[in-house]
Amino acid sequence: MTGLLARRGSWQAIRDEVMRRIRSREWLPGAIIPNEVELALDFGCARATVNRALRDLAAAGVLERRRRAGTRVAVAMAGRAGFDIPVIHRDVEAAGQRYGYRLIASRIELPPAEVAGRMGLVPRELLHLLALHCADGRPHVYEDRWIDPQVVPQIREVDLARISANEWLVQHMPFSAGDMGISAVVAGEAAGRLDVAAAEPLLLLERSTWSDGRAITFVRQYFAPGHRIEMRLAAPLAG
Amino acid sequence: MTGLLARRGSWQAIRDEVMRRIRSREWLPGAIIPNEVELALDFGCARATVNRALRDLAAAGVLERRRRAGTRVAVAMAGRAGFDIPVIHRDVEAAGQRYGYRLIASRIELPPAEVAGRMGLVPRELLHLLALHCADGRPHVYEDRWIDPQVVPQIREVDLARISANEWLVQHMPFSAGDMGISAVVAGEAAGRLDVAAAEPLLLLERSTWSDGRAITFVRQYFAPGHRIEMRLAAPLAG
DNA sequence: AAGTGGTCTAGACCACGTC
DNA sequence: ACGTGGTCTAGACCACTTT
């Protein structure tokens, strides 16, 4: 490609050209593509520029790169996506509704074995919170949360009746990893909290959050009937 | 930091040091941090190396960078996450079960207004597929899919009784953007397909996929009771 | 107008893992 | 062992946006 695709950043042009060759099946999944030096000659640029483009595609999962082994087109190039973790506060307000939060209960107690297991710790006393998030005064999300005060000692001094544990954690314990599971359940015992029939199907979101190998919190959130968790899927490349 | 954190890549050491300063509240959310030249002097490295580190953090959402305005610590540094799009085939086999696929119906017909709306097009004839994904011979996911043959003309020549539309699309129309919604519903009309009671709560995943501004496909997937969609949350930084 | 990040270069050395 | 990607440098020019 003799400089055809020149743009603002030539590494983007290179990335696009590589993508084109993959899409057009000029470079098949699993096949090794030319090395950086060859591509740099081909594209008439520095190797660092090619490196930038290929690194970008590797990060997006389109390419697989290994020293000495070279760069190949990923075989199962389907799966990764990015989305924004739903933040209830913003969710509600984005829908043009007034957000409300109410702490129902706050106790220090032993978690059931399942919760302890999810948090990967031997049962010991944790902070247990029950809370309700409201939209325009109506129950929106019922939340059952466990927090390990040994990992987040400052939590003892927070007035959790005023600020939701989630918002406080987000502000003071950021950058954590975690896992999340979504399932459908019958309202059951959460029905009373959300003011719905016990047979109503609810979305249950379970999330555990980790910092430095230690579980910070585990939360179960029951969403009011009809709620929809939405996410935009970010493609490896727009186009 | 006089070379204290030297590692394999010094840009990673710089990234870690910047993170440390943010975590320790040495640099507060919203505050401007020193520019690249200053940091390069501070760290005793080339500006490009600092740039690499800061670009990485900006991509992770930890920093916000603007020309001329400088680099500042992001205020709402909570939200982004990454996960792998659930691929039913792999899901089932990862659970040690045998995957099966069965095409129930395939028709060319006009979509209901809601589907047309989701795909952002005026109603015209689309390919409509009903299919069942099985695990160990038992119904696992019931799928109701619409495909626009004007966007994917090759689909007409595919034997969709043998390969699922999803797998074919993934292989031949990769790298697309889209949006996804998850909700809880009662089994209702999907109950018969999944062989469950009509009142059973099911997870409904709706996804529309776009390529180049045009909708490729819109699919509703009803998961068998008890199914859980899991995702690992990728933190901006491990640690 | 001027300062900041964005990018490119040409060359170099290094680390890793395959051969 | 040696080829490949990973990274770093020192300098340069450019693009954007705020002052």
Q: Does A79 touch chain B (CB under 8 A)?
A: yes
Per-residue pLDDT of B81-120, as tens digits, reads 666 666 788 778 888 899 999 999 999 999 999 999 999 9
Output the six-digit token pair for B174: 């990769």
Interchain contact A78–B (C-beta under 8 A):
yes
Contact check, Cβ <8 Å, A185/B184: yes
* Separation in Å: C5 C1' and A206 CA: 40
In the predicted model, is pLDDT for residue A230 greater than 80? yes
The residue with greater pLDDT, B81 or A194, is A194
pLDDT at B3: 38
The distance between the two most distant Cα atoms of chain B, rounded to a whole number of Å, is 69
* β pairing state of A201-211 and B32-33: unpaired
- Is A238 buried (19+), middle (13-18) or exposed (0-12) by CB count in 10 A? exposed
State the helix-helix crossing angle for B47-59 and B10-23, rounded to 10 degrees. 60
CB contact under 8 A, A180 and B23: no
Q: What percent of chain A has pLDDT over 70?
A: 87
Residues forming a β-bridge with B208? B179, B218
| A33-68: burial string, b at 16+ Cβ within 10 Å, e else | beebeebbeebebeeebbbbbbebbeebbbbbbeee
A71-125 pLDDT, tens per residue? Answer: 998 876 555 566 666 678 877 888 889 999 999 999 999 999 999 999 999 889 9
Q: How far, in whole angstroms, is CA B1 from its chain's centroid?
A: 38
Number of H-type helices and E-type strands within chain B: 7, 11
Q: Which of B141, B216, B233, B237 to mutate to test the interface with A (most CBs of A within 10 A)?
A: B233
Residue ranges of chain B with pLDDT lower than 50?
Answer: 1-7, 237-239
Yes or no, beta carbons of A184 and B225 under 8 Å apart: yes
- Model confidence pLDDT, tens digit, residues B53-62: 999 998 888 8
Instruction: Note the pLDDT of residue A3.
Output: 38
pLDDT in the model for residue B206:
95
Sequence-separated (6 or more) residues with CB below 8 Å from residue A12:
A53
Give the list of residues 6+ apart from residue A42 with CB closer than 8 angstroms, or none. Answer: A1, A34
> Please, which residues have CB within 8 angstroms of residue B124's CB and are 6 or more apart in sequence?
B110, B150
CA B49 to C1' D19, in angstroms, rounded, equals 28
Distance B67 CA to C3 C1' (A): 9
CB burial class (10 A; 0-12, 13-18, 19+) of residue B133?
buried
Tell me if residue A113 falls in helix, strand or coil. Answer: helix
Q: What is the pTM of this model?
A: 0.77
Using a CB-CB cut-off of 8 Å, the residues of chain A touching B226 are 183
B213–chain A Cβ distance below 8 A for any pair: no
Share the mean pLDDT of chain A: 86
